[in-house]
Structure formats: structure tokens, C-alpha cells
Chain A
Amino acid sequence: MAPKPSKASKAQPKAPEPIKEYPNIAAFHQATYENSRPYHKPLASLSATEKTHYAYARLLETGIWKSWDEFQRKDFWKYIETNKIPVPLPEPKDLGRDRNGRDISKYSVKEYEEYQKRERGLEGLVRESTRFRDRQRRLRRSGRAGEDIEGEIEEERNRRKLIGVLRGKKMGRYEEDPEWDDVVPIAQDDGEGALAQIAYTEEYSEAMSYLRAVMSTQEKTPRVIALTSHIISLNPAHYTVWLYRASTLFAINFPIHAEIEWVNDIALDNQKNYQIWHHRQLLVDHLYQEIKDDEAKLKELEDSERAFMTEMFDADAKNYHVWSYRQYLVRKLNLWNQAEIESIEVLLKKDVRNNSAWSHRFFVVFNDPKHCTEGSPATAHDPKIPDNILDREIEFAKAATFEAPQNQSPWNYLRGVLCKGGRDLSSLELFAAEFVKEGKDGAEEDVRSSHALDSLADIWAKTDVEKAKWALELLGNKYDRIRKGYWDWKIGQLMDQPVNTLEGNLEALKV
């Protein structure tokens, strides 16, 4: 039997004391190396005894003694121990760099000691963690998944945190969490030639690879809700995440009110996002089925939804998604009521130029099943609409026009109402003329609204072509010069001239 290595190590020369005269671990290793080879000098400078010792040292280094018989080896080691011949150490290797990119050979001796200790600790933890995963896998295979051997999972969670600290790099959220060990993430495969590659964060990449995995197995569990919340916080425009979240919510009977609360915050933080509003519709559709026979609950939903939209409108009163959703809600909850109209009036008081609010008013007034023909488009005459409603809307728009004559929204609204009521635009002539005073006896005209001129031009086109032309010329040359090309084209149409005089008109326009 070969002597135990420990025996050999006893014969090792005493390592030089790790004291501060070694500037770093590399210097210390170099010194240790040199101390292990005291006879590695020119042969001529060695005494006869030293030469013998050198020969023994060489035998040690080559390891040839291992092929000898036991008797020879015993003798050999006895000599080495007696004469304290050091075992020649191999030349120190480059220690490489640590996880922060620092050159390890520049570590102090003390630092290096700690480093080694840490690495040994880390290896132990990783071994333990691997054992944990194996154990859990076996449990899952035998159908005993989720069985937590008292506190083991929590212990493992902490272990992975520690591994992260020791590695100097936190594990990903899902890699670190033992509850996700049963999921094998599916990484994104971009391949070569990928266009529009994005500098994803590691956090996003990891979360997405877990989403792909749960979708592939159609897992619908509470942890999927957490995963989708996480991804939505990183990329709220990912439509599949929203759709998968919704189907999961419904599959596990997640409380809808809690989800609406959650989605409120997301919506406030992501004003431009569309998916949120589609999601909200799915939620309300679902909730509606549950509460449709409960008046009080329906009223509660109406109020809370309106309150939330008001909050959204505080940030952007023209948010297209919110207004689309609002139309959906009016139809769904039958909100053809005074509260809805008043809520729009509040917004118009704040900003009479809010065209979205005008548009919504038009929708609420002219789609109300109480007095409208179902499915009548916005551009069609609906004979069912009572005169008092048409008059009310006309008065409302006129009042807003007096407030701000150059605001196009109520002018458009007026045209829309007249069309709905089958009334002629010429019924606006007197009103529009309030904003367009023709100058008497060569005096300059007084025009306060280009939209009034535009309306008058359309009205006069059927009755007095010269006046219509005058209005269009005023628009193109003075009151709405941005659109000169358009007004001149209208004159051309009015005069039944071919459109190709346009080029000439455009020449005049060039600045």
C-alpha cells in the first residue's frame, strides 16, 4: 500500500508565512513554489548531499516511485522524511479573473483565502441545491408534487439567494424560486439575420421564457397571474400576455373586482395602452353575467366605472381608448341617461374644444334606443328622433359656438345634428351670419369664424353663387390661408371649372 498523501505532506517544507511582505497572492504562490525547489540551482553549486537530495526531489516530481514495490517505496519515503526534502510544487498557474473581472492574482493573501472559502461554500450550496431539485423532481414523478418537507422550500429559496450573493449575480426571479422548478423555460430563439432586435433586460427575457413554458402546457394557476402581472409591468403592449391572463382569471375564478382594481393602476400608468381596455371589456362582460339581475350592483358598477374614466380623463381627456371603452360601456350597461350626458358636459365645460367629448355626446344622443332607430348610422337622417331633442342639441352647440366661434367641434356637431334631423344646412344661415358681417359701403367685413364662412359658402352655393365665391375667397385669401389650395378648388367646383386650374393657384401660394 502506498503511503498516505498526508504522510507526504508532512514532509512538505513549511510554507512561507503569509505576511504582508507578499504584495499579492501571486507573489506568495511564486515564493512557495521557489521554496519547494531549494536544489533547483546549477548543479556545480550543489554539495554532494544536496545533489543526492536533488535526485530524490526529481524522483518525487516525476512520480516514478509509484511504480516501485512496497519495500522500495518505504525506503524512499523514509529518506525523504528524514532529510526533509520538500515536494517540488508545480509552477503557479494564472488564477484568472473573478466575477467582477478583477485579476485574482492581484488579490492580497488574505483576500485570496476568503475568496477560496467563498468558492468552497458556493460549491457546497450548489451541490445542495442540485440535490433539492433532484428530490423535488422525484416527488413530482411519484405524484407527490407540492409536498413540502417542513420548510425545505423556504430553506432552498434562501440558499439560492445566497448563491446569487456569492456569485455576485442575483439569480433570475423564477430561477431563484423553488416553486417554479417544475417549469422548464423556453428561451426565445432569434437565430441569425434577426431584424429589429431589442436590448431586452435579463428580467424580461427570463419572464418571457417562463410564460412561453406555461402557455405550452396551458397551465392556468394563481402563479400565472403573478407571472403575467410581472410581464405586463415590463411590457404592457404584449397582447398574448393579456389574453392568456384573462383566460387564466376566468379559469380559476379570480375575483373580478380585484382584477379591475389592479388594472386601474396599470391604466393610469400606461395612458397610451390599448390592451388594457380590451382586457377591461372582457372583465366587465364576465362580471355582467354575474350581476345582470342585480340593479344595485349594476348601478355600483356604472358609478365606479364612470369615476375611473373621469380619473383617466384628468390625465388626458381625449384618450381614444377610454372613449371607445366608454361607448362599449354605455351599450353594455344601458347608460342612455342624464348622468352620462351631464358627465360629458362637465368635460366640455373644462375644455369646449374637446372633440372626443362632442363625439361621445353625439353617440349618446343619437343612439339612445328610446328615441332612435336602431343601427341608424351617424351620417343618416333618422326620422324617429323627436324635434325637441334636435332643438335641444342645436341650442347646445350654438351656445358653445358663441363661447368660442373658431372652435370647429360645435360647427361639425351642428352639421351632424341637422343631417340626423333631415334639416337643411340653410337653416343655419342666420346663425352663421352672426359671425360674418359684410362691410357696408366699402367698409371691411368683420369675420369672427372661418367655420361660419365655410358653412355660409355651402349654403350660398345653392342659392347665390357669387356670395359663395366671395366667402370662399375670403377664406383662401384672408381668414384661412393654410387651406388656400382647398378653398380655391372649391371655387373651381362652384364655378364648374376644371380642377386643373389648381396648379396656377398653387403657384400663388408658394412663399
Chain B
Amino acid sequence: MADPPEDTHLDIPQHIKYWKRCLLTLLPTQYTTTDSSRMTLAFFILSALDLLNAGADTFPPAQRTSIRDWILKCQHPHGGFCGSPNHRYPDAYYEGGESMDPANLPATYFALLALSFVGGLESVNRGACLAWLRRLQRRDGSFGELVTGEGKVEGGYDMRYCYVLANVRWMLRGDMEGPVGGIEDINVESLVRHLKAGQTYDGGISESSSHEAHAGYTYCAIASLKILNRLNNPDTAKDNATSSGLTDISATIRWLMSRQIGYIPDEDSDDDNDSLPDQDNRNTLAGIHSAHAIPALSTTSPEFVGFNGRCNKSVDTCYAFWVTASLNMLNPTYTPLVNTPSMRRFLFTQTQHRIGGFSKHPGGPPDIYHSYLGLAALAVMKEPGLKELDAALCVSREQRARIEGVRGGGGG
């Protein structure tokens, strides 16, 4: 458990050090389970450094070129990208038209974003990629993560695929609907219907309306609508109210606000769920997860506010992002509804790590995923020293503008 805070701030030099280490040195063997998604890690590394004002534009040109070459090397010859060189065969293997290990949708999203940090998208096989996106869509409007050699869409039902799809489409088509370069668009209407159908009885969003609401899926659905220009916003949304926006926006706001959890550090234990020395005190705390203690109502104001991803779950750094970014997209004036001072205190003193980066839970080791989303959450809340974030794309606004400049297609 971290010591009580003396000095609560974002330790920018330590974070830069952390990300430079991730950039330049081998990740430890435990990262083997992320071997299929190295492109995701690559994006987090480049984008985190960008948020910290130490991005790829400060790298030596040769380094930028070799990073760019590596990303392009993961491009699948039939469109889209592979998540790591371990999925990509030498060129000769594809000559007979075999798809070998097929391209992956999230990998494609992360590869395009990563590329935008070290150059343009001109070497992306745009036509093949757009055609491939169409093959990933299911009849119900949802998307899978890959298409097998037999043409089967694989990857389960997962709002994340819709989100990355919307982004890839935006990066490669611009805001154009209808055919681009002779390639038909995906079925946007059925995708929007699918996204809207994800709202659950408690106001959150899940992979479908019958599943448990989850902050990550809630973010993905809202961000997808945002990128597709279909969120309830009188200025930009389509006129047809029935095809746009969320089903019940005030219920979604209520659900998002409920994700804030008063967090009181446990002095004697590294485990914030069990074996509490002071059970009575524990019982008085509102909304802290414990399988055994049922918290009663409390009138004390907690020093720290963390976020959970589902009702009655424990706090986790990444949900600070999924929740605040969702609110921000619904309406930027909703972001300050969050208890920002306590949230910052939680991130700075409970999950920010001495060596830089953020951990998932207080007291844990930092990891790339939570280190990025911790920064992203703070950037949504306009943390001084960080570039401001575009909540939907999850990169700095500056980077979004750069992508708009290089994406070509039908875009502005």
C-alpha cells in the first residue's frame, strides 16, 4: 500500500521515464499473454508519450522510420493489420491467396493510430481494409474481430469491436457515407441500432441489453455513436431522433455517476477486498466492495474517490477513464460533475507508482494498460502538464487534428 500522500501531483518526469523504458527495453516475460496485441501496447506507448509532451515528434528521424516500418510490416496483405509479428507470415506464404492468420480489427485500429504518430497513412492498403470491414459485420449490425479463411466472423459479441470499427472507418473514410473509391460502406444504420440496443435496465450499456452494464462497454457504445455522428447533440446529430443517440440519456448519466466510489485505504493489508482489521469501520463506508461486509449509509466524506466498472465492484484505475470520457462525450459540461479533486487524489496517491505509471488497484505494480488509461482520465479532466484528450478517439486533440490532416479519404 502506498504511503499516505505528502505531495499529491502527477509526477510527469517519472511517467515519461516509465514510458521511455517501455519504448526502449524488452517487456518482461509476463507480457507474453499480450503477445497477440503488441500493436495495442505500441499505441499506448506512443500516445502516452504524446500526452506527456514527449511524443514521437521528439524522436530521432531514423527511429520514427523504423517504428513506422515495423507497424507496416504487420499489415495483412489482404487488408487490415495483424496484432503482432507473431500473426504475420513472410510475404511468400500469401501468394496463393491464403489468408493464413487473418487480420484483426482491434489491431487495425491501434496500428492506424500508432502509424499516425510516426508518419501518414499513405502506405495503408485503404481499399482492401475498407472492403474487409464490410466482411466483419454481422446481420444484427455488430462486428466481430476477424474473418476466418472460410469467411466466418469470429470474436464473440463485444462493444469494443464496434468502437474500433467506428474509428477505423472514420480514419479511412473520413466522414463520407456511401461508396468510397468504389467500395460500399458498412451498414451504419444496423450498427447504430445495435449500439442503441445495448442499454440495460439500470441505465448503463453492455454487449447487449440483457447483459450486465459495464463502464468499458458504455464508453465504447457512446464513443461509437459520437464518431458516427449519431449521439444526441442537436448541432451534429442526424435529424431523425429515433435513429440517433442513447435510449435514455439521463439513466446513463445516473449510472455513470454511480461508478464513483468512496475509497479509504486499508493501512495494514495489500488486499483491498478482504481481511479487514476494522470491520466496523468498514461497514460504515458507502459503496466499498467487500463480499462479506454490506456497507450501511455513511455521512462521512471520503478523501479519495475511485471508479468501478460495474455496480458493487471494487475500484480500478482504468474506469476513471471509461466513466469520465463517457460523460465528456455526452456533454463536456458533464465532466465537472465528477468529484475531480478526490479522483485526482486517488490516482496520484493510490495507484500512481513510484517508478512511474499507474497500477490497476492501489498497491499493485504498474502496467501499460492502466498507466495509459490513468493518464487519459486525467487528460479528459484537463490535468495541467498533459495535452488535452479527445475522449472519443482516446488520443490528444492535437493528434486527432493531425489524423484529420493525414487520413485523406472523404474527410474534411
Contact = CB atoms under 8 A, between A and B. Distances in A.
Interface string B33-53: 111111101100110000000
A106 B341 CA distance: 67
A240 B230 CA distance: 34
A362 B214 CA distance: 16
B32 interface: yes
A479 B156 contact: no
Interface in A474-488: 478-486
Contact of A195 (B31, B41, B145, B297): B41
A381 to B, nearest CB: 12
A201 B42 contact: no
A52 interface: no
B178 interface: no
A238 interface: yes
B85 A450 contact: no
A485 B305 CA distance: 13
Contact of B201 (A236, A354, A415, A489): A415
A484 B200 CA distance: 25
Q: Which of B93, B148, B154, B253 has the largest count of A CB atoms less than 10 A from its CB?
A: B154
A407 interface: yes
Interface string B325-338: 00000000110111
Q: Which of A216, A409, A484 has the largest count of B CB atoms less than 10 A from its CB?
A: A216
Interface residues of B, number: 98
Contacts of A312: none
B187 interface: no
Interface stretch (A78-86, A92-100, A182-190): A182-190
Nearest to B253: A486
Contacts of B46: 195
A8 interface: no
B69 A200 contact: no
Interface string B80-114: 00001111111001000010110010000000001
The number of chain A residues touching the other chain, given as a range, is: 35 or more
A404 B100 contact: no
B26 A195 contact: no
Contacts of B353: none
A274 B336 contact: no
A195 B87 contact: no
B201 A208 contact: no
Contact of B63 (A189, A193, A412): A193
Interface string B179-203: 0000000000000000001011111
Interface string A199-216: 111001000100010011
A274 B156 contact: yes
Contacts of B257: 483, 486
Given A238-B36, A318-B313, A363-B210, A353 B202 contact: no
Contacts of B201: 362, 378-379, 412-413, 415-417, 419-420
A463 interface: no
Given A198-B31, A327-B210, A359 B200 contact: yes
Interface stretch (A301-309, A338-346, A498-506): A498-506
A247 to B, nearest CB: 8
Interface string A283-321: 000000000000000000000000000000000011010
Nearest to B149: A218
Contact of A320 (B32, B212, B253): B212
Interface string B127-156: 000000000000000000110100000111
A509 B311 contact: no
Interface string A432-469: 00000000000000011110001000000000000000
B260 A482 contact: yes
A204 B85 CA distance: 14
A355 B312 CA distance: 7
Given A196-B368, A323-B212, 20 more contacts: A191-B70, A193-B67, A194-B85, A195-B45, A196-B34, A199-B29, A199-B31, A200-B32, A215-B101, A235-B35, A362-B201, A378-B200, A379-B248, A404-B294, A406-B287, A412-B202, A412-B311, A415-B201, A448-B297, A483-B339
A-B CB proximity, top 8 nearest: A193-B66, A416-B201, A195-B42, A196-B41, A412-B202, A359-B212, A355-B311, A193-B70
Interface of B: 22-23, 26-29, 31-39, 41-42, 45-46, 63, 65-71, 73, 84-90, 93, 98, 100-101, 104, 114, 145-146, 148, 154-157, 197, 199-203, 207, 209-214, 247-248, 251, 253-254, 257-258, 260-262, 286-287, 289, 291, 294-297, 299, 301-303, 305, 310-313, 333-334, 336-342, 368
